[in-house]
């Protein structure tokens, strides 16, 4: 067995994980500290504050969970759900069903409202379903990577707050790349990940929640046996590892010994968020938007069709219909093997029907966009597809030159 | 806010996290790959095989979970436990109670057998308790970091297998540093972590399990909604994130899309395990043993007392009784602030009574041992403790010189 890792150069244009900033890669090489070393606690405190910025929140609580994005989704849902609680899941793509899956496993009574994946919900449809089903929790996805659609949340959030319901939102695919207003949209818990627009390797989930959720957590807190047998709670959260009521007390001044923090990943997150804040969150949105316009212009001019409603398209993902008669996986393989470019396929009903080009974080760069457009055109010509040659890169260049 | 991470140099002599090998730190700086990139799948396959070596197992299944050690403990327990199942926890230290805590949250009927933390169980005591309580699962800790004791497991494992019970063992604090024989000791599931004797940053849990457990997992498998609505299972595992039946299918050739693998941490694990295998697992045990002898000889010659039964002491942790009248936390602070050395305190009944010197992985080096002994002596003299000056380092040197 060869024991040396040999990693080829890749242009990663999937909806996550994406290319990592060089300085993030470098900072992971910094020696570790013990998780209660005062110098490490300082890093954690800084990370807490920085996490809040892309969420646009004044919440006291914001921290990272040592697990990939879905660990945060599960932590959020099991913190609020008690067996039998009604949870409403408006589903317009794959990851809504993940929220449902987690809620079902937490023994919630889950109600789905379903639709075609090509567009989002009219807020009124969701509000009517809430009125009808009277759930305790509404869990939605802000941006669905599977189909590239982005749900307007403000009206729904307002209705939930007025009616004292909990509004849980998966912002994994938009955090840092598109506007999220946790406070203004009245989101109770929002969850993101490290591996998309923050350009940090996968392995951390980011979470923020407000006082309403803090109150629930306080009422369900159970200290761990072995640290103390005193604080038992019949309504304790079902998981120990993903117990937000303990995690909160690890990240705040109480500093309970819950787990051994993933120091190197926290360094990486610190640097990734620093870069995002130094760029300016509005500038980051603008960069994602222009690169998205260039991708869309290029793809269209090639003669390919996009999937889904363009008025609610996420700036961070572009779903493309695979042309009739073309083997989608063969195109992806050739892109990877000959050009070193990775684009994504999709899931569920969109599997083998749609390719997805990601436009996230450090991967969201002009040179990457131009490279993927030129390469995709060449690979499609090679596969005998009917595309208009020479146009895609020109159209994208045009977007960049006129946006200056 | 300063956005630049400034990390001081530390000699980390705690029972984890420990210092990370320089080449492990470097490999984390390698650019990431998509989690289904064929080149990354090759890295995962190699990691699978390497994980098995310190476990001394021929099990088909061995992989990493994207979470700290306790995520693996929880994954293992919730995979086997169904509500009402009887779980026996023989507790001789803090982390047995963590196993109990997790089992209780999984709605098991948990029976503890408890004892003073200063020694391990006579195997007969555990076997008698099994006979009496007839549990489905016995969960034990191999090495208890809280008190430095290491439980002999072979007889218990044999009895469990003969009686068709499941034997789950937490080997977090011994994996790579002390002998573990998963197959010979008839352990059904063993769980370790990255941040101790493998000298990789915290953030990954390592797990292996046999065909008996695989069969249970196959019977509880539920595919995720959003990928397919076909495979539902009434006996599904309670967590989605820590569902071993899905994780297994992500790590094997089925490659289901469960989560976005923490690529950089997997690179680190690959390098950490490579170093361990290059050193030779027996040589690693020998290095830990000699450094342990040096620590023990040094501490004793200083006039300090060790905690617990020396015949069942772990080679990777040395618990020291804090001398009467000495402020343990003041000593630890001075070691950290003046000497850059971190040693640990302890938990539960041993809090403020015991210091712990770790001896794990890359931290288990002669120069670290000599440094911590000299510094501890100096700090104790500074604090007015009654120690024999000048002896500790000499005694440790003597161990090294006679072991050549």
Q: Is the pTM of this model over 0.95?
A: yes
Decide if B45 contacts B375 (C-beta within 8 A): no
Reported as a single tens digit per residue, the pLDDT across A121-159 is: 999 999 999 999 999 999 999 999 999 999 999 999 999
Reported as a single tens digit per residue, the pLDDT across A31-81 is: 999 999 999 999 999 999 999 999 999 999 999 999 999 999 999 999 999
Reported as a single tens digit per residue, the pLDDT across B243-293 is: 999 999 999 999 999 999 999 999 999 999 999 999 999 999 999 999 999
Give the CA distances from residue A89 to residues A126, A135, A169, A246, B232, in Å, rounded to whole numbers and listed in that order.
9, 10, 11, 27, 18
Cβ separation B1–A240 shorter than 8 A:
no
pLDDT band at A2 (very low <50, low <70, confident <90, very high): low
The span from the CA of A90 to the CA of A135, in Å, is: 12
Residue A1 pLDDT > 80: no
The span from the CA of B49 to the CA of B62, in Å, is: 7
SS3 content of chain A, % helix, strand, coil (to 5): 45, 15, 45
Q: Which DSSP category does A237 fall into?
A: -
pLDDT band at B2 (very low <50, low <70, confident <90, very high): low
Q: Which residue of B has its CA nearest to A25?
A: B29
Chain B residues with CB inside 8 Å of A224's CB?
97-98, 101
Tell me, what's the ipTM? 0.96
Is A34's Cβ below 8 Å from some Cβ in B?
yes
CATH number of A21-276: 3.40.640.10
Q: Does the annotation place A356 within a ligand binding site? A: yes
* Tokens encoding B55: 């476990």
Give the CA distances from residue B101 to residues A242, B91, B240, B356, in Å, rounded to whole numbers and listed in that order.
13, 12, 19, 24
Give the CA distances from residue B243 to residues B238, B263, B354, in Å, rounded to whole numbers and listed in that order.
8, 20, 37
Q: Where are the domains of chain A?
A: 21-276, 281-402
Q: Quick one: three-class SS letters along B303-336?
A: CCCECCCHHHECCCEEEEECCCCCCHHHHHHHHH
Is B100's Cβ below 8 Å from some Cβ in A?
yes
pLDDT band at A404 (very low <50, low <70, confident <90, very high): confident
Cβ separation A34–B14 shorter than 8 A:
yes
The span from the CA of B186 to the CA of B154, in Å, is: 7
- Structure-derived torsion over alpha carbons of residues A115, A116, A122, A128, reported in degrees to the nearest 10: -10
Provide the 3-class DSSP secondary structure of residue B357: strand
Q: Which residue of A has its CA nearest to B224?
A: A101
Averaged pLDDT score across all residues of chain A = 96
The span from the CA of B121 to the CA of B114, in Å, is: 9
Is B203's Cβ below 8 Å from some Cβ in A?
yes
Q: Which DSSP category does B184 fall into?
A: T
Reported as a single tens digit per residue, the pLDDT across A235-287 is: 999 999 999 999 999 999 999 999 999 999 999 999 999 999 999 999 999 99
Is A331's Cβ below 8 Å from some Cβ in B?
no
pLDDT band at B144 (very low <50, low <70, confident <90, very high): very high
Q: Which residue of A has its CA nearest to B256?
A: A347
* The predicted structure's pLDDT at residue B86: 98
* The predicted structure's pLDDT at residue A287: 98
Decide if A28 contacts B28 (C-beta within 8 A): yes
Reported as a single tens digit per residue, the pLDDT across A191-211 is: 999 999 999 999 999 999 999
The distance of A202 to chain B (nearest Cα, Å) reads 5
Choose which CATH entry (2.40.260.10, 3.40.190.10, 3.90.1150.10, 3.30.559.10) describes domain B281-402: 3.90.1150.10
């Amino acid at each position: 067995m060869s024991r040396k890792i040999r990693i080829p150069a890749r242009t990663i244009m999937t909806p996550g994980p994406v290319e990592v900033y060089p300085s993030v890669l470098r900072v992971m090489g910094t020696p570790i500290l013990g998780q209660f070393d005062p110098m490490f606690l300082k890093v954690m405190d800084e990370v807490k504050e920085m996490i809040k910025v892309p969420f646009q929140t004044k919440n006291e609580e914001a921290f990272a969970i040592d697990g990939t994005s879905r660990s945060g989704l599960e932590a959020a849902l099991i913190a609020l759900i008690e067996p039998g609680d009604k949870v409403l899941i408006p589903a317009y793509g794959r990851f809504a069903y993940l929220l449902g899956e987690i809620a079902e496993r937490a023994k919630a009574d889950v109600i789905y409202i379903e639709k075609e994946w090509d567009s989002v919900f009219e807020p009124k449809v969701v509000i009517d379903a809430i009125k009808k089903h009277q759930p305790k929790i509404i869990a939605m996805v802000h941006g669905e990577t599977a189909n590239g659609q982005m749900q307007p949340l403000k009206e729904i959030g307002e209705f939930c707050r007025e009616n004292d319901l909990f509004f849980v939102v998966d912002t994994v695919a938009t955090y840092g790349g598109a506007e999220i207003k946790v406070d203004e949209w009245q989101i109770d818990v929002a969850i993101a990940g490290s591996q998309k627009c923050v350009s940090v390797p996968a392995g951390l989930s980011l979470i923020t929640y407000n006082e309403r959720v803090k109150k629930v957590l306080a009422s369900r807190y159970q200290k761990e046996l072995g640290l103390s047998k005193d604080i038992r709670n019949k309504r304790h959260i079902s998981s120990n590892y993903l117990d937000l009521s303990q995690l909160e007390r690890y990240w705040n001044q109480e500093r309970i010994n819950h787990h051994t923090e993933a120091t190197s990943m926290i360094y990486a997150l610190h640097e990734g968020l620093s870069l995002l804040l130094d760029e300016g969150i509005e500038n980051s949105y603008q960069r994602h938007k222009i690169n998205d316009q260039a991708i869309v212009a290029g793809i269209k001019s090639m003669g390919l069709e996009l999937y889904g409603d363009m008025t609610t398209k996420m700036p961070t993902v572009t779903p493309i219909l695979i042309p009739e008669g073309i083997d989608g996986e063969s195109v992806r393989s050739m892109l990877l093997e000959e050009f070193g470019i990775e684009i994504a396929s999709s899931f569920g009903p969109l599997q083998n029907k749609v390719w997805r080009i990601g436009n996230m974080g450090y991967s969201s760069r002009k040179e990457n966009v131009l490279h993927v457009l030129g390469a995709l055109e060449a690979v499609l010509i090679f596969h005998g597809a009917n595309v208009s040659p020479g146009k895609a890169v020109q159209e994208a260049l045009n977007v960049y030159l006129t946006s200056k």
